[in-house]
Structure 1
Amino acid sequence: MAQAQEPGQGRYRYAVLALLILAYTFNFLDRQILGILAGAIKKDLGLTDSQLGLMGGLAFALFYTALGIPIAWLADRWSRTWIMTGALAIWSGFTALCGLAGGFWQLFLCRMGVGVGEAGGVAPAYSLISDYFPKAQRARALAAYSFGIPVGSALGILFGGLIAASINWRAAFVIVGLAGVLLAPIFRLVVKEPVRGAMDGTPPAAAASGGLALLLRKPSFWLIALGASASSVCGYGVAFWLPSFFERSLGMGLVERSLFLGSITLFGGVLGVWGGGWLGDRLGGRGKGFYLLVPAGAFLLALPCFFFAVGATSLPVAFVLFLIPTGLNLAWLGPVINAVQHLVPAAMRSTASACFLFVNNLIGLGLGTYYFGAVSDALTPRFGAEALRYAIYSGLGFYVVSALLFVAAAAVIKRDWVD
């Protein structure tokens, strides 16, 4: 396969990072667009909150988690750039097909197809970044890559809402899906395969056998993965249901809430992701445990902010209160992903990332959106349109669980760390 120039030379690695961020932006745009369209889809197809929660979480997470590890195993042995190109084309194509769905099961299956494609979109990218950037810059590079989460989520909210308001929800799926299909060949032309382990001073090596067993024997892996999963139950769940909350509890129209929530997600998310990566690199040199203490502190601060934000009745106050925890909710990405990369040798990083994503997304994404939808349905007879507000309150305790698990991981990470 074609090899890139030495990844530390010139500005090429930043061009690669920009394409990786763009691909990740489409990843989350296609993943999160369902949230802003949920109200229109619910009305058009006659769905319940529980059904919407299943489509937003389980439908996507089933194949996303199941295929992630075998695809990452392949990525540790074959071209990561080809795998990502194919993945981008597949998930974008299925996003476009969502616009043709005529009922719950058709849309459910299309969302499963999005998950099939996105299974190959993230773990290989983590590995590529680790081979393009030196250790001292890696948490920041991974944090920059993670800008795709708030930017993609914000664009999904913004474009989805505006297109649906101008045309309909079906057109929103088709337009953003086809845009991703067009990006795939450009991605393949620009992003070349780097030498594995080059930035760690190690020679190229084949992926080690027994890598999965090595990773699963490390207690820090399980504490990190379960800690991230607990936070993701709340993070993914709240992100999916906030558009519906703004509609039901604050009376906001489709365009208004698209602009409102899109701005919160973009500005709060980008600041939080970069701040977490910056703190991780700055404090990580003092001790490996700081890579996990940074997100633990962020989640403990996010909990009361979200609590007061959900109770706010003034839109300007709600904007500020939601902006802060939106950033804190994403501060874990750079430090934690960097820590996972250092639990195994360089030749096994895609597999390690996929194992982490398997646990995080199966629990966090698979349970999160369904949990809030199911609790909302259960509370509707008592609270009516305000049921979703109380459903969100009930899920904030997952942040405490996450913080405790990350603190425990910080205590043992040093002995599991691989330089």
Structure 2
Amino acid sequence: MQSNAIEAKAGHLIGYGSASYRHYVLLLLMLVYTLNFIDRTLIAVVAQPIIESFRLTDAQWGLLYGPPFAIFYAVMGLPIALWADRSNRVHIISLCIVLWSIMTALCGVAVGFFTLLMFRIGVAVGEAGCTPPANSLIGDYFIARKRATALGVYSMGVTLGSVLANVFGGPIAEMQGADVGNWLSGLGFHWLFGGLDWANVEGWRIAFVVVGLPGVLVAMLVWITIKEPPRGYSDPPSQSADRAPDWSETFAELKRKPSFWWMTIAASLVAFVGYGLISFQAPFLQREHGLSVRDAALQFGAPLSLLAAAGTFLGGYITERATERFPTAMAWVPAIGIALAVPAYAAAFFSEDLDTVFVLWGIGAVFHYSYLGAQYNIGQGVVSNRSRATAIAVLLILVSLIGNGIGPYFVGFMSDLFMQQQLLALDPSTWLSPEACKTASVARSGGEEVLCRTANSTGLKYSMAATASIFLIASACFIICARTLKQDFVAQLGSARA
């Protein structure tokens, strides 16, 4: 008993559990976050087939991808986070994994725009319970000076999830339903799907089911193997964790931390650009460069996501190394990174050679995602240990509403606007519009089809380049955040080994 008490008092020096167990927990939480983003971003990988199946304009697709998901993610994020600040965080994460996994699988049976929208909302509700409690757990498992790297590793789940969504989603989406039916019959499962006409089952539907269901197994692994640590275990003894704060106390604490709000604005703007670009990445490659769903996923989606994951890790690693000499490095590293991403992205969108497009897009992705660990490190670092989950939830509410809620729709809206301008520029007398170009019931000549395709591709290219420029505003916000970060941070930044 005495040794346990001594160990608890030394928690701020070593962290919770053995080093190997801490790393296991971190990797499992990264797997959960990876799964979170596989299920969240799969819809972007199979975007063009869905657009064609439901005959959507870019603005309609942006609406489907963004606002409803973001609103429910935000609305549910805060109550779940408040629950996590008072209850068993491991159990909350496990239950939420089950919910979003089942809802992802159900997206595969959507019969139209509305039903797909409803299942996407279900995914949002489940995924709202992932990151706030996971960040809180990491804060209790790792000491203050190790959290930048730990959160950088955890944040790699964003980009690794995108890799796996592309690796699995792209090829599966191109599968023929009849082939899948024959394969299942060969395994002896024909009785389970006896009434299903596989010839009419589209590949993107199969992708949702195959990718979604394995999450239930991950939820069981989390429930069984991760221990719930004492609150504030890895913080200095002076930081009391004897009770859960009222939500008003957390907001009062955040109100006194200007660095939190400037970081939140910056992170929201980065998410605005990021969600906007990723929601149209596959359609851009298919329209502008003629790639198939599979090729866009495997040749661009997966490797670019790996480069983004490398950027996330490098951002956390560089921040940890630099903080000893430059205490506000966790704000300056993302500020520099996202500013450098702008010219790389813009050049990629307007390049015609595919190899050049990949290299420039990859450079942009590395710089872009260097920010990701910083938002969590600052978000939980400026509040007391008992308020971490709630603080991260506040951050994610704004990131979700501004980033995922507006970003995809903005890119789609601007794409349709630029498309209309291109239609008139190419043929001032044309009667065509974005809606007329994409409506199956409207008769169009061969020349008009070519005009539609050209304007559709060019409009999206201009829209994505314009959206990427918003990174410059986000960079300025990170720089302003750095001005008060040192005084707002709970643990001492710089050379101190807190």
What TM-score comes out, normalization by structure 1 length? 0.96
Q: Which residue of 2 aligns with 1:205?
A: 242
Amino acid in structure 2 at the alignment position of 1:133: F
Whole-Å Cα distance in 2 between the matches of residues 347 and 39 of structure 1? 44
2:471 to 365, 385, 399: 399
**Contact 1:267/1:323 (CA < 8 Å) preserved in 2?**
no
- Return the offset for 1:387: 0.9
Q: Which residue of 1 aligns with 2:11?
A: none
Q: Which residue of 2 aligns with 1:411?
A: 483
- Return the offset for 1:10: 3.7
1:29 and 2:38 are equivalent in the alignment: yes
**Contact 1:76/1:350 (CA < 8 Å) preserved in 2?**
yes
Whole-Å Cα distance in 1 between the matches of residues 214 and 300 of structure 2? 23
- Aligned-pair identity in percent equals 38
**Secondary structure at 1:199's aligned position in 2?**
coil
1:16-415 map, 5 Å? 16-167=25-176, 168-202=203-237, 204-209=241-246, 210-383=249-422, 384-385=455-456, 386-415=458-487
- Return the offset for 1:329: 1.1
- Return the offset for 1:248: 0.4
What TM-score comes out, normalization by structure 2 length? 0.81
Structure 2 unaligned runs (5+)? Answer: 1-6, 9-14, 177-202, 423-454, 492-498
- Return the offset for 1:36: 1.4
Whole-Å Cα distance in 2 between the matches of residues 361 and 7 of structure 1? 31
Amino acid in structure 2 at the alignment position of 1:216: K
- Return the offset for 1:408: 0.5
Whole-Å Cα distance in 2 between the matches of residues 334 and 46 of structure 1? 38
Q: CA, structure 1 residues 189+8, in 2 after alignment: closer, same or farther (shift >3 Å)? A: closer
Whole-Å Cα distance in 2 between the matches of residues 288 and 71 of structure 1? 32
**Contact 2:163/2:306 (CA < 8 Å) preserved in 1?**
no
Q: CA, structure 1 residues 396+10, in 2 after alignment: closer, same or farther (shift >3 Å)? A: closer
Task: Tell me the alpha carbon deviations over residues 36-76 of structure 1, each in whole angstroms, 9 at most, x when there is no partner.
Answer: 11111111112221121112111211110111111111111
Amino acid in structure 2 at the alignment position of 1:178: L
**Secondary structure at 2:81's aligned position in 1?**
helix
**Secondary structure at 2:151's aligned position in 1?**
helix
Task: Tell me the alpha carbon deviations over residues 182-212 of structure 1, each in whole angstroms, 9 at most, x when there is no partner.
Answer: 2211111111101111111335422223112
**Contact 2:62/2:408 (CA < 8 Å) preserved in 1?**
yes
- Return the offset for 1:130: 1.1
Amino acid in structure 2 at the alignment position of 1:372: V
**Contact 1:66/1:358 (CA < 8 Å) preserved in 2?**
yes
Q: Which moved more, 1:315-324 or 1:202-211?
A: 202-211
Whole-Å Cα distance in 1 between the matches of residues 242 and 276 of structure 2? 40
Q: Which residue of 1 aligns with 2:22?
A: 13
Q: CA, structure 1 residues 340+286, in 2 after alignment: closer, same or farther (shift >3 Å)? A: farther
Amino acid in structure 2 at the alignment position of 1:406: F
Whole-Å Cα distance in 1 between the matches of residues 64 and 217 of structure 2? 25
**Secondary structure at 1:147's aligned position in 2?**
helix
**Secondary structure at 1:197's aligned position in 2?**
coil
Whole-Å Cα distance in 2 between the matches of residues 343 and 144 of structure 1? 20
Measured on the aligned residues, the alpha-carbon RMSD in Å equals 1.5
Task: Tell me the alpha carbon deviations over residues 374-418 of structure 1, each in whole angstroms, 9 at most, x when there is no partner.
Answer: 111122223312110011111122101100111011011122111
Whole-Å Cα distance in 2 between the matches of residues 159 and 59 of structure 1? 25
Structure 1 unaligned runs (5+)? Answer: none
Find the structure with the greater CA-based Rg: 2
- Return the offset for 1:135: 1.5
- Return the offset for 1:139: 0.4
**Contact 1:35/1:243 (CA < 8 Å) preserved in 2?**
yes
**Secondary structure at 1:100's aligned position in 2?**
coil
**Contact 2:152/2:313 (CA < 8 Å) preserved in 1?**
yes
**Secondary structure at 1:11's aligned position in 2?**
helix
Q: Which moved more, 1:279-288 or 1:160-169?
A: 279-288
Amino acid in structure 2 at the alignment position of 1:106: T
- Return the offset for 1:8: 4.4
Aligned pair count?
A: 416
